[in-house]
Amino acid sequence: MCLEALEAVISFIFVQTNYNMTILILGSGGREHTFAWKIAQSSLCQSLFVAPGNSGTAEIATNVNINVTDFEAIKALVIDKEIDMVIVGPEDPLVQGIHDFFLNDETLNHVTVIGPERAAAELEGSKEFAKEFMYRHNIPTAAYQSFDASNVKEGYAFLETLNPPYVLKADGLAAGKGVLILNDLVEAKTELKSMLVDAKFGEASTKVVIEEFLDGIELSCFVLTDGKNYKILPTAKDYKRIGEGDTGLNTGGMGAVSPVPFATDKFLYKIEQRIVKPTIQGLQKDDLPYKGFVFIGLIKVGDDPKVIEYNVRMGDPETEVVLPRLKNDLVEIFQAIANQTLDTIDLEIDERAATTVVLVSGGYPEAYEKGKEIIGIENITDSIPFHAGAKLDDGKVITSGGRVMAVTSFGNTYQDAIKKSYQSIENLSFDKMYYRKDIGFDL
Ligand code: AMP
Ligand code: GLY
């Protein structure tokens, strides 16, 4: 056989074996729409499912109405559709051990799962576990002590040694509501009791971590790891409060910017040396199997980064600004994670800034109405409207959650990008639509 013919055969085999993956994404938010949007561009993905998905994922993939923690239903789907790879969006299935569920089942253990195993997911599942991990590996974070119902009095005594504000954290998952920051000592003691004794956050507050308050500006760092090697994705900053000027209640996120202008090369170097490296090495030393995203919530205190928290997944809405800037084929990266060859990948990042502005239902994060028709999506041409709490109903897109849509734009500067997102939003409307008009105000 001549050389060309041999090459043709080899490339044919290559095409046959690599270009036909069936992929499942778990989740239904803007983050998962962004994953679907990115994966749909991959030449390695032949067929894409999202469970349960939303109106945005319905346009580019097949939605399957399965709950992300219904492992048996997910198993049936994976077998039925011959799924090769599962990307886990939210933390709940990871903390409940979905990766272990796949590994321990001989009909599923050939499937690639992107997300850590249960033991490692405790970095998000338990604040105390995360603090102990950071202390063990000398990773800079706030000083702390943890308490349970048996030593509430010691908890009061510890609070008395601290200066206000007081930071109280429910140990377990509390849907983003488990952190209280209080200025008054008496109130802090009352809340501590209500968490530990009266189960304010249910099971999640059986233990409470009390922390030193750190004063600074926050940012998020996203790391991909195959358990051995790591790659750092672009930084992002999200805006958590409902009100302009970062006021009012905490939300799941009202907007995001990437890159973070104050994260200079020097500061990023500190993050990598002091936090990312010891985190990845710590996972190995502690035998915590990790193939997925590590989301490190950071705070810049003076010129130094400190860890506020770990999450074992991507952030939302940070994903909506980080993934659009990634030029690589994401499925190729996920394959490298599965094969522990992430060191062979060079990340290519779009130099431009990306921003997203989140449209929410009026009233969110408290009570709000659903089922409102979203008008004007088709008129958006300069931005990418990632759907979140939105679903299809009789051919219309209607609201189905608090965070409804994240409108992402590129720009040469983050100011240009934000301007574009706001211009695109002019095209959109639904009853009681609300969004913050000051994303990026503090940069
Ligand atoms: P967490 O769920 O741990 O990310 O906490 C939620 C938010 O509370 C963070 O994004 C910070 O804004 C704030 N926070 C948490 N821990 C501290 C701390 N030690 N000092 C200051 N702010 C904190
Ligand atoms: N945007 C913060 C988070 O995803 O937890």
pLDDT digits (tens, 9 = 90+) for 385-442: 999 999 999 999 999 999 999 999 999 999 999 999 999 999 999 999 999 999 999 8
Task: Report the pLDDT value the prediction gives residue 17, as an integer from 0 to 100.
Answer: 43
Task: Report the pLDDT value the prediction gives residue 16, as an integer from 0 to 100.
Answer: 40
Query: In angstroms, rounded to a whole number, what is the distance separating the alpha carbons of residues 320 and 30?
Result: 7
Tell me the one-letter amino acid at 443. Answer: L
Of residues 361, 380, 362, 385, the one with CA closest to residue 423:
380
**CATH architecture classification, 143-211:** 2-Layer Sandwich (3.30)
Measured from the alpha carbon of residue 254, the closest ligand is 2
| Centroid of ligand 2 to alpha carbon of 220 (angstroms) | 9
Query: In angstroms, rounded to a whole number, what is the distance separating the alpha carbons of residues 249 and 255?
Result: 15
Q: Give nearest CA residue, ligand 2 atom 2.
A: 315
Q: Give nearest CA residue, ligand 1 atom 16.
A: 308
60-106 pLDDT, tens digit each: 999 999 999 999 999 999 999 999 999 999 999 999 999 999 999 99
- Report yes or no: 247 and 254 within 8 Å, Cβ to Cβ: no
Q: Which residues of the chain have pLDDT under 50?
A: 12-17
DSSP designation for 273: I
Query: In angstroms, rounded to a whole number, what is the distance separating the alpha carbons of residues 434 and 358?
Result: 9
DSSP designation for 272: I
Query: In angstroms, rounded to a whole number, what is the distance separating the alpha carbons of residues 105 and 439?
Result: 45
Mutate to test the pocket of ligand 2, among 92, 295, 312 (most ligand atoms within 8 A of CB): 295
DSSP designation for 151: G
| SS3 of the chain: helix, strand, coil, percent, to 5 | 35, 30, 35
Ligand 1 atom having least distance to the Cα of 240: 10
Mutate to test the pocket of ligand 1, among 308, 311, 312 (most ligand atoms within 8 A of CB): 308
Mutate to test the pocket of ligand 1, among 247, 254, 299, 312 (most ligand atoms within 8 A of CB): 299
Task: Report the pLDDT value the prediction gives residue 3, as an integer from 0 to 100.
Answer: 60
Query: In angstroms, rounded to a whole number, what is the distance separating the alpha carbons of residues 226 and 210?
Result: 32
Asked if residue 158 has its Cβ within 6 Å of ligand 1, the reply is no
Listed in sequence order, the DSSP H helices in 81-138 are 91-95, 98-103, 118-125, 127-136
Domain with CATH 3.40.50.20 in the chain: 3-117
In terms of phi and psi (left: phi > 0; alpha: psi -120 to 50; beta: otherwise), the region of 246 is left
Say what the pTM is. Answer: 0.93
Query: In angstroms, rounded to a whole number, what is the distance separating the alpha carbons of residues 404 and 389?
Result: 4
CATH topology of domain 3-117: Rossmann fold (3.40.50)
